[in-house]
Structure 1
Amino acid sequence: MREFLPNIDTEKLKRAFQIKEAYDRGELTLAQAQAQLQLQVKSLQPYEVALIEQELKPEVEDECRKEDIQAMITLFDGVLVRERPDLPSEHPLSCYYRENDKIHEILGKIQDLVQYPAIKNQWLALYEPLSAWRKHLQRKQNQLYPLLERKGFTRPTTTMWTLDDFVRQEIESAYKLLLSAAETSVDGNMSLLTAENEEKFISLQADIVADVLDLMQKEETVLYPTALALITPAEFELMRRGDQEIGFANITVNPPVAAAETTTATPAAAGTSADFSNFAADLAALVGKYYPQPQAGCELEVSNGRMTLEQINLLFRHMPVDFCYVDENEIVKFYNDTAKRVFPRSLNVIGRNVKNCHPRKSVHIVEEIIAKFRSGEQEQAEFWINKPDIFIYILYTAVRDKTGKFRGILEMMQDCTHIRSLQGSRTLLTWEKEAAPANNAAAAVPMDTAGSVGQAAAVPPEKVQKIVPEEINAETMLKDLLAADKNLKSYLFTLSFKFRALDTPLARIMLPKAKVSDMSERSGIPLNELLAKLRAYFADRQK
């Protein structure tokens, strides 16, 4: 880690660590510790605190949850640099800060609301954006942590991930309680939580507010400034593209300009990290000289046949299941970029140790699977997620060569919700987008009226409301738009790749409550622009 950081004074870091340890043991008062820090340390950058944790502080179980970040800030007051970096609004770190600013507002409103009777709709208005903050945590775990690991800063993956998941689960538990049974007030206008649920729900709020604030403070005090010191501008630019795949919480972020649209960049100073693109091109040319890539259209020998590289990639992209391959060294080497992906992934997972791709509490399961596959004791391990609206099947298979030598693990995930719903037999050809013949009792109901992935739930014809283009607004429900025009989803795909989420299993959960404002936020398309496009689309369709 230290080789990526400037001007590290090892002796200064040791002194800072020793003073903090003495203070924690009660050997120094706060005033004495602060005086020694001012005299012997003078100044600490956030990345120096991170380096102390990485190199000098032994790791303990659940340490990120136990660490009192406010006490550390108090101890290092006047020594630790705590300025928020001045970054463009679309910079990955700026997006994290912006999301936290939104959550700070939500937490303030929660603290105000707990003193009043628990009206469900008021709390939903706060918990929907608070629950959306999981996107923030997903990007950290799948985008930021892998880059920091490559720089030798592994502490976030091994310690902060546990805190991330703990906070997320706290929010989810309270949100589920909020969505549970409620009763209507005497005047019939307000949905109140039942007395039992209200007591449980309100009792959770103080801990949730404290834990979310604690996590955000740890992010902003050490994690983000350290990431800025370790990660190059070119790496942040690549990170932006993966961030778009996963999504953002309560903010709008414009997608990065496609490579073909990028104008000529300002030449970077020789030897700087911004010269990454030239280095990559030179490296590709060097590799190509000694290990030439197949020419376009050149067929490759595969197990049973011959295919071009383009055909192989097309095949993987159109697979109706997710594949991920981890090699014998436990490194993630490949995943297929299918549009029907079950869970979000990004390119930063490639080259990452598979153990770092899982929360710490489940790493022992990963280790057990690898050990039993490697020894030959087991060949497969299966899991499934069974919820009312979704059924996900997950299968891990040991990969072996012809000699039986262990060569890695193939992970397969599939949304089997539709498959499990099938009944009887289908022996006649029936297209998804055509109504099944009325007299064909054996034919299954067409997917677009059976609640298939990405489609609105079936709506009886008499209940489908005609869409008045001029009345489409930020509060218009996505499910109503999809129910009114079955071709809308294909049109949305042309507006933004982010709408591919409509073809994932999780869309079934998202659709009932998604509004046009949510569509704007998740796609990055400005609300006014999206409204104009939707109004124009429906106006054109009704001509």
Structure 2
Amino acid sequence: MEKRGFDKLDHAKLDKLITIKVSYLKGEISKEEARKQIMANYKSITADEFAYTEQKIKDLGFSDETVHKHMDELLNLLEGILEKSSLSLPIGHPLQTYINENTAIKSLLSEMKEFENNPFDKDKWTEFYNKLYQFNTHLSRKQNQLFSKLEEKGFDRPSKIMWSFDNNVKKLISTAKTLLEEDKYDEFLKLQPEVHESILDLIDKEESILYPTSFELISEEEFIKMRKGDDEIGYCLIENPPIFGDILENKEIPNEFMSELSQLLAKYSSLTGQNEILDVKQGKLTLEQINLIFQHLSVDLSYVDENELVRFYSDTKHRVFPRSPGVIGRNVMNCHPRESVDTVKRIIEAFRNGEKDMAEFWLQMGGKFIYITYTAVRDENGKFRGVLEMMQDATHIRSLEGSKKLLSWDDEYKQEDKNTSSNNSNNSNQYGITKDSVIADIINKYPYIREFMPTLSPKYSKILNPIAFNTIGKVANLEMIAQRGNINIDVLISKICDEIKKH
């Protein structure tokens, strides 16, 4: 199928549609009159044609808030003439992966809908919502991967408008999950129709407009590269899709940071090898060492330059929020939901004008205490050169008391062994957790344990990968997990019980 792209559309045909929509948004004509004029002038409108008109409306000065507020009305104006594209894509294609996830979510919603008439079963609803919560991964991948590539094509309406719909869905899922955990069953059940309808509405917008337009604008080579970044964020309710395209099968895509840094050095010096010694501000390091340092920091770093473009993020294993190579070169304003953009603008302007040098935030998320700082980056002459974001899971730091001045690894294990002394492995703790407990069963009952495990050992990071978790989580008991992380089994059980107790 030949791709068209916005430049190949019949702009003359669409100018009239833009005029009608603008008149409607200005209140110059009623919905009925707008609909009448559209039906008189058009037999059909494709998804990418609709997307093009939305982008042009933005260029004419209509705010994102206005378009977001009237998006459903604008879609209703085209009811019956908006073509429903049916994409025929190979398995592994990023768009097909989104569609497969939507199919899985719709199946889950149907199962939940049927269960509403049954006697209330908290364990079953918890199981449903642990699965539904994975939809956040679908949304994060879409925001980081797909939106960034569309912005390069001059189509930033998804970043500006759909992100708000995404956030509404995430908020509804989170609110319902909290009501369930707090045993507020009546409120929980009352919210279910809104959760159901909002997710299906979002899926319809994705499949009617977003995916067909993305297929027209993005090349196959770009989708192949996108597939690499998709793995870094993960998937929702489906198994890891197969590799898509020959490029990924036969060539290794280089580390994004190493590639960018090498290009920068090539511009200013002849030192481009990974093992060449570089004179950094305080010391001498190779490119490989620089990259390793960033990968092993206990905090997440992101750097936005003075032009408000994302230039770097640290590729750590413990990221608080997902990142993928698609974010590099992206305007930072498009990396945040519409509701947060004003705050981002205020921070950057205050840094740029020299009014402030730092802004800090903190939040509670999934049982974790997340600490975030934004620091103004200035050169030796005081000129503004960008913003450095530092993000850290400070839960453990926040719990520390007193002082620790001596190394005491062995003492810690001995003390914890003494405190737990085979009690946990003999099923005497109040949660019934033993060495034979399967990690998937524990996480299904206490979802926050999934994110807690990698804090005990980096070897547990694979638990965060839905595919790896689905593969080993259902068979691995705590004794096996303890051996994998080189942790005493009683200590492991004690730490898990302590984490549950906190919640």
Q: Does TM-score exceed 0.5, indicating one fold?
A: yes
* Aligned match of 1:173: 175
Q: Report the TM-score when normalising by structure 1.
A: 0.72
Rounded Cα–Cα distance in structure 2 between residues aligned with 1:257 and 1:18 = 41
What is the aligned partner in structure 2 of residue 244 from structure 1? Answer: 231
Secondary structure (helix, strand or coil) at the match of 1:248 reads coil
Query: What code does the residue aligned with 1:64 have?
Result: H
**Which one of 202, 205, 216 corresponds to residue 192 of structure 2?**
205
1:49-198 equivalence runs, <5 A: 49-56=50-57, 58-61=62-65, 63-64=67-68, 66-68=70-72, 72=75, 75-77=78-80, 79-181=81-183, 197-198=184-185
Q: Which structure dedicates a bigger proportion of its chain to helix? A: 2
CA contact (8 A) 1:326 1:354 kept: yes
Q: Alpha-carbon deviations, 1:452-493, whole Å to 9, x = none?
A: xxxxxx98343363449xxx797576999xx9xxx9999995
Which residue in 2 is equivalent to 1:25? 30
Equivalent in the alignment of 2:285: 307
1:460 paired residue among 424, 429, 433: 424
How far apart, CA to CA, are the structure 1 residues paired with 2:38 and 2:405?
Answer: 80
Q: How far off its partner does 1:5 sit?
A: 3.6
Q: 1:162 to 1:478 in 2, by over 3 A?
A: closer
How far apart in 1 are the matches of 2:443 and 2:393? Answer: 25
Once the two structures are TM-superposed, the CA of residue 263 in structure 1 deviates from its matched residue by 3.8
Counterpart residue identity of residue 396, structure 1: Y
2:46 is matched by which residue type in structure 1? Answer: Q
1:223 is matched with 210
Q: Are positions 1:375 and 2:353 aligned together? A: yes
Q: Judging changes above 3 Å, is the alpha-carbon distance between structure 1 residues 257 and 316 closer, same or farther for their aligned structure 2 residues?
A: farther
Q: Given residue 240 of structure 2, which amino acid in structure 1 is its aligned partner? A: V
Deviation digits for residues 329-387 of structure 1 (CA, Å, limit 9, x no counterpart):
11111111112222211111111111111111111111111111111111111111246
Change (3 A) 1:261 1:80: closer
Q: Give TM-score, length-normalised by structure 2.
A: 0.78
- Which position in structure 2 is the counterpart of 1:278? none
Q: In 1, are the aligned partners of 2:302 and 2:389 still within 8 Å (CA)?
A: yes
How many Å separate the matches in 1 of 2:129 and 2:103?
A: 15
CA distance in 1, matches of 2:445, 2:127: 19
Which structure 1 residue ranges, 5 or more long, are not aligned? 182-196, 266-280, 440-444, 451-457, 494-498, 508-518
In structure 2, what is the equivalent of residue 436 of structure 1?
Answer: 412
Matches within 5 A, 1:395-410: 395-410=373-388
User: 8 Å contact 2:439–2:478 — kept in the other structure?
Assistant: no
SS at match of 2:133: helix
Counterpart of 1:345, as a letter, is R
Number of equivalenced pairs = 454
Q: 1:400 to 1:5 in 2, by over 3 A?
A: same
Q: Is the 1:400–1:406 Cα contact (8 Å) retained in structure 2?
A: yes
| Change in CA separation of 1:429 and 1:227 when aligned onto 2, cut-off 3 Å | same
What are the Cα deviations for residues 493-543 of structure 1, in whole angstroms up to 9, with x where unaligned?
5xxxxx6365xxxx7xxxxxxxxxxx6xx135874x8878989979x99xx
C-alpha distance in 2, partners of 1:437/1:175? 36
Read off the aligned partner of 2:404 and give its amino acid letter: R
Shift of 1:72: 3.2
Change (3 A) 1:492 1:233: farther
Q: Percent identity?
A: 39
1:391 aligns with 2:369: yes
Q: How far does the alpha carbon of each residue in 1:92-145 deviate from its partner, in whole angstroms, 9 at most, with x for none?
A: 111111111122223323433444543323322332222221111111111111
Q: 1:198-221: CA deviations, max 9, x gaps?
A: 332222122222221211111111
**1:489-508 → structure 2 map (5 Å cutoff):** 493=459, 500=461
Change (3 A) 1:127 1:62: farther
What whole-Å deviation, never above 9, does each CA across 1:261-315 have from its counterpart, x for those lacking one?
A: 83489xxxxxxxxxxxxxxx9xx99x96996452342111111121111111111
Tell me the equivalent position of 2:323: 345
Task: Report if aligned partners of 2:304, 2:311 keep a CA contact under 8 Å in 1.
Answer: yes
